[in-house]
Copies of this chain bind each other. A is one copy, B any other.
Amino acid sequence: MSGARNLTAALRRTRVPRPRIVLRPNLPQSPCATVVRSFSASSTRPADKQIKYTSDAYPHVKRDPNFGELTADDVSFFKELLGSQSAVVDGVTADATDDLEPFNSDWMRKYRGHTRLVLKPQNTEEVSKVLKYCNGRKLAVVPQGGNTGLVGGSVPVFDEIVINTSRMNKIHSFDEASGVLVADAGVILEVADQYLAERNHLFPLDLGAKGSCHIGGNVSTNAGGLRLLRYGSLHGSVLGLEAVLPDGTIVDSLSTLRKNNTGYDLKQLFIGSEGTIGLVTAISIQCPPRPKAVNVAYFGVESYEQLQRAFLEAKGQLSEILSAFELMDGRSQSLVRESTGNKHPLEGEYPFYCLVETSGSNAEHDMEKLESFLEHVMSEGIVADGVLAQDETQFQSLWRWREGITESLSHLGGTYKYDVSIPLPELYQLVEDCKQRLTEKGFVGDDDSFPVRAVVGYGHMGDSNLHLNVSVRQYNKDVEKAIEPWVYEWIQKRQGSISAEHGLGIAKREYIGYSQNETMVNLMKQLKTLYDPNGIMNPYKYI
């Protein structure tokens, strides 16, 4: 390949150490489809510890006395309505504690509710009847998809009824000409993507939980994920949706049209509202053609300034084929190495690493662009070392250094997680400042007498989205108080967002004021009251 020769020649002219780049001429057609990045609840759930009830962790949150109490009559109504035995998990008239547990608690084992009833409607009409009944009886509910959230948004706090969408899992249609998929809310993201892969298309969203999360939950939480940089936000790609309001009204806005300027775009209100004004039952979404070639490179970088330069170069040179630019700091990668025992792809150690992915329609063109980018960033000394995946196995293995961080951290004890947006120049400064603050307070150290093991940063640099994680040996109120609200004030000063993509849930509801002004919060409350005057939809959370 001529590109390879050019690259080698260019490297000879430079002073930087020659990176161990292995060029990969081609990749199987749709590698993304076979990459398994899903996590299961069990893999991160130590069996030796009970999960604390959210009501105990948040003692100032009280059950709303206006809400009704579940009775045997209510359960009879739901059983008759939903018909099937498996559609109702009944802890009201029977003992079903074990069966209820997976619906009461989250995969991080951080939040745990007291629900005694789980309903699994099979279609929109059933959801409508359930909600209408609940609204009439003022029974609070929690919509629940794959229950993979990170802010406690999809589990109850007290005895809210869980409405789980897992039985609403049909793909309705896909039109190849327009690329529009119509599917039930309960379809698992990976299932939708596999279905599309067989039709040479791609679901325009990808995230670690894809093997478990539901597309309805993705839309309800406005999930961002790994490739927002390329495929944009769900506010742009979701063309229509169907949802049920608390009073049972079915909002049928399941348009498959790319353009439809006939009135207020009400569907947008359901995207990211975390089930607080209605329950999303189906979506239609614009799906792009599946890329024929996908490449991934992994770099070591000497400073955050160089990392920013690398990103600007990637944006400029890889342009339309750039599909991910992920940042991982040195500590996050050493934690993955310690936890997995895997050999790190680079020989030296660097304060920063980044993963650059391209997705395009022509493998040769993409490789040429990538080579030219590599040649540039290496000859200019912007990156210090790097590898390029040579085959599907290496592709997956490189991605695991990014995607394995969450799981590696979970093996080490507790983690205080902050998912934030900060303007790029100061993005990583938050990690430095947090580390310094906790160190000065004497919390950070290598031996077990220190509560904090590590302060790490990683995330979607292409979207200015940082995940600040404070890994602790055990949850510690003093550490928590040293971080919060300091971290939110820090973000507020930079006009950042205290929740970039994870949402508010119960974890951040009290902190919304750091990212939204009073007028905005008041307007939000006004909307909540308009659609859910009894406040039954996912209470104690969001705004």
A: which residues have CB within 8 A of B? 175-179, 200, 221-222, 224, 228, 232-233, 235-237, 249-253, 255-266, 268-269, 271-273, 277, 289, 291-292, 308, 311-312, 315-321, 360-362, 365, 368-369, 421, 423-425, 460, 463-465, 495-504, 508, 512, 515-517, 519-521, 523-524, 526-528, 530, 542-543
Which residues on the B side are within 8 Å of A256 (C-beta)? 423, 495
CB distance from A373 to the nearest CB of B (A): 10
Chain B residues within 8 Å of A232, by CB: 232, 236-237
Residues of B within 8 A of A271 (CB): 265
Q: Which of B176, B269, B311, B318 is in CB contact (< 8 Å) with A268?
A: B269
A503 touches B261 (CB 8 A): yes
Known: A365-B368, A365-B369, A369-B361. A266 touches B499 (CB 8 A): no
Shortest distance between the CB of A466 and any CB in chain B (Å): 10
Considering the chains assembled together, what is the distance between the CA atoms of A520 and B512 in angstroms? Answer: 30
Contact A257 B361, CB 8 Å, known A178-B423, A232-B232, A263-B516: no
Contacts of A512 in B (CB 8 A): 262-263
B498 pairs with A262, CB closer than 8 A: yes
The docked-state distance in angstroms from the alpha carbon of A418 to that of B528 is 37
Would B175 and A423 count as touching, CB distance under 8 A? yes
CB–CB A504/B263 < 8 A: yes
Residue of B nearest to A520 (CB): B253
Please name the residue on chain B nearest to A422 by beta carbon: B257
Q: How far is the CA of A261 from the CA of B463 in the complex (A)?
A: 13
Given contacts A252-B520, A319-B361, A320-B361, contact A497 B262 (CB under 8 A): yes
Report whether A421 and B260 are in contact in the complex, using a CB–CB cutoff of 8 Å. yes
B308 touches A261 (CB 8 A): no
Question: In the docked arrangement, what's the CA distance between A527 and B269, Å?
Answer: 12
Q: How far is the CB of A494 from chain B (nearest CB, A)?
A: 10
A263 and B542 within 8 A (CB): yes
Say whether, besides A263-B516, A265-B271, A177 and B311 are in contact (CB < 8 Å).
yes
Q: Provide the bound-state CA to CA distance between A175 and B464, in Å.
A: 12
Apart from A265-B268, A266-B520, 8 more pairs, CB < 8 Å: A177-B308, A178-B424, A251-B520, A257-B500, A265-B271, A268-B269, A289-B319, A530-B530
Q: List 14 A-B contacts (CB under 8 A).
A: A177-B312, A232-B236, A235-B235, A236-B236, A251-B520, A257-B495, A257-B500, A258-B463, A258-B465, A260-B497, A261-B501, A291-B320, A292-B319, A365-B369
Q: A263, A520, A530 — which one has the most chain B CB atoms within 10 A of its CB?
A: A263
Docked CA distance A35–B258 (Å): 26
